[in-house]
């Protein structure tokens, strides 16, 4: 299974990696066009699921990227946005306004991306959006994969607090690795699970 360092090294070996990522950054901040960036991440997720060596695709196939991105965005919204939003509302309702009152948000942030990644992986098994809501499938992927995804999740959350470029760059690495991890779990490649 590739490490963050190996994926980063492979990513930066593409002579046009910064331009490709900058397109993602640029598109992320344009309403409606942001679905293209999510479609690009979806394609990288597919690459990780297929356990192909990481290569950044060229930007093109705008219609396909848009449609893929729309589905990926909706999955992220439901499985990452809703838990974080619900916890934020709950925290807001709690008495006190100090920094310590925000501590309950940390677990929501930590579980949101792996949960959304697991839902996206289940969706990709046969293209059925109903698979995203398979409780046993979600919990199985999350429990079995926890020892593999906690470092990439923490790294991505750290990047998320930084610049937009770091966000997209981190997302490229993160979603590729998450799909790769789940494919390993599915195929039983890691016999220790």
pLDDT of residue 172: 85
Virtual torsion, Cα 99, 102, 106, 112, nearest 10 deg: -140
The pLDDT tens digits for 21-73 are 899 989 988 999 999 999 999 999 999 999 998 889 899 899 999 999 999 99
Which structure tokens are listed for 67?
């449609």
pLDDT of residue 87: 85
Which structure tokens are listed for 163?
């610049």
The pLDDT tens digits for 133-173 are 999 999 999 999 888 888 788 777 766 665 566 777 788 88
pLDDT of residue 7: 87
The pLDDT tens digits for 75-103 are 999 999 999 898 888 877 776 655 556 66
State the average pLDDT for the chain.
Answer: 86
pTM (two decimals): 0.79
What is the distance between the alpha carbons of residues 180 and 86, in angstroms, rounded to a whole number? 29
> CA–CA distance from 119 to each of 114, 135, 145 (Å)?
9, 9, 13
């Amino acid at each position: 299974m590739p490490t963050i360092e190996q994926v980063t090294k492979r990513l930066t070996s593409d002579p046009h990696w910064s331009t490709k990522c900058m397109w993602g950054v640029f598109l992320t901040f344009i309403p409606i066009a942001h679905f293209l960036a999510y479609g690009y991440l979806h394609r990288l997720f597919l690459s990780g699921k297929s356990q192909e060596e990481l290569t950044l695709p060229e930007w093109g196939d705008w219609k396909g990227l848009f449609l893929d991105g729309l589905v990926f965005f909706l999955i992220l919204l439901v499985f990452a946005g809703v838990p974080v939003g619900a916890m934020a509302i709950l925290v807001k309702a709690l008495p006190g306004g100090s920094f310590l009152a925000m501590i309950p948000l940390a677990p929501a942030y930590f579980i949101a991306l792996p949960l959304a990644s697991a839902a996206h992986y289940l969706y990709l098994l046969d293209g059925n959006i109903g698979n995203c809501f398979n409780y046993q499938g979600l919990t199985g992927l999350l429990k079995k994969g926890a020892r593999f995804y906690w470092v990439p999740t923490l790294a991505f959350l750290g990047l998320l607090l930084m610049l937009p470029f770091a966000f997209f760059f981190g997302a490229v690495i993160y979603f590729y690795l998450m799909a790769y991890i789940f494919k390993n779990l599915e195929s039983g490649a890691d016999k220790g699970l």
